A and B are shown apart, each in its own frame.
Chain A
Amino acid sequence: MSISLLTVAANEANRVSDNIAIVISIISLVCSVGFSLITYWQNQKLKIVDLEANYFTEIYQGFLCKKIPQARSSMKFLNRRLEGDQDFLDAISEMRRDSAYFKYSDEEFYGDVTQQLQKVEDYVVQVNNHPMIGDEEEKEFFRCLTAELQQLYRIISNRYHGKRK
């Protein structure tokens, strides 16, 4: 009688142990599938980030590092009129046209960057509509232009680093 009770108890213990093993296996499987999916999503996201980083470099690097700073440094006032601005305007308008990729991939960013580029362009185009009245006004023009260009660089930098408005 006592042997039979022991056998029953042993069988019950084995069954509980098996159930625990099954539960642990299921949890392991779920965790494994979950981690695999997370890794897959992260990889996909990284691929998109890498792809966009390549587009950013290809589209903007030349403008931000060379064309705009060089063209900006060629602009000067002569007899109270701005001279040497055509290269700058060409660079700004070319950059706007080259931003077309983002019209389809990120419309909000495209709107921000083209709006800022046209603001800068309008500012330069209109400067000779009234002659400058002194050195201080000429300096003020360049101060404002620098501030608008800084805003342009900020918009692009923020988007590159994934920051939103």
Chain B
Amino acid sequence: MNNSIILEFEKTLVGLAGYPFGEATFKKFGKGKVDENQEIRVVIPDRIERVASSFVQGFFSEWIDKYGVDWVRKNVDISTSREDVRQYMYQNLE
């Protein structure tokens, strides 16, 4: 899938937290880099074990403000080998 945002972090990071960090990560890897009229894939590195709600809300804040939470749920595919991380992120969009 070409319409993807592939996140990269320092090798030591296994837990992502903080609203400002989420916002900064989106600006660095996602803002203006994908077609919002197509399905978007956000790829989380497999070594990430935990993602706090603060990071999720910061990362998706621009799209949530612009299109709403349901749009994110329907149009963004969070891709990670860890199903618990994926579920947790969708649950904590708001």
Which residues of chain A have a CB within 8 Å of any CB of chain B? 85-86, 89-90, 93, 96-97, 118, 121-122, 124-130
A129 touches B88 (CB 8 A): no
Knowing A86-B84, A125-B17, say if A118 contacts B53 (CB, 8 Å).
Answer: yes
Can you offer 26 A-B residue contacts whose CB atoms are under 8 A? A89-B50, A89-B88, A90-B88, A93-B88, A93-B92, A96-B53, A97-B91, A97-B94, A118-B52, A118-B54, A121-B17, A122-B17, A122-B18, A125-B17, A125-B50, A125-B52, A125-B55, A126-B17, A126-B52, A127-B15, A128-B14, A128-B15, A128-B49, A128-B50, A129-B12, A129-B14
Q: In the complex, A128→B16 CA distance in Å? A: 10
Contact-residue size bin, chain B (C-beta under 8 Å from the other chain): 10 to 19
Would you call the interface of chain A mostly helix, strand, loop, or mixed?
helix
Q: In the complex, A93→B57 CA distance in Å? A: 12
Q: In the complex, A128→B15 CA distance in Å? A: 7
**0/1 string, B43-84, CB within 8 A of A gives 1:** 000000111111100000000000000000000000000001
B15 touches A129 (CB 8 A): yes
Residues in chain B near residue A127, CB distance under 8 A: 15
Nearest-CB residue, chain B, relative to A127: B15
Residues in chain B near residue A124, CB distance under 8 A: 50
User: B residues 6-56 with Cβ under 8 Å of A?
Assistant: 12-18, 49-55
Q: In the complex, A129→B21 CA distance in Å? A: 14
Q: In the complex, A132→B90 CA distance in Å? A: 30
Q: In the complex, A121→B54 CA distance in Å? A: 9
B53 touches A93 (CB 8 A): yes
B16 touches A125 (CB 8 A): yes
Nearest-CB residue, chain B, relative to A122: B17
B15 touches A126 (CB 8 A): yes
Q: In the complex, A7→B88 CA distance in Å? A: 96
Nearest-CB residue, chain A, relative to B91: A93
Residues in chain A near residue B52, CB distance under 8 A: 118, 121-122, 125-126
Q: In the complex, A93→B91 CA distance in Å? A: 9
Q: Smallest CB–CB gap between A41 and chain B, Å?
A: 37
B84 touches A122 (CB 8 A): no
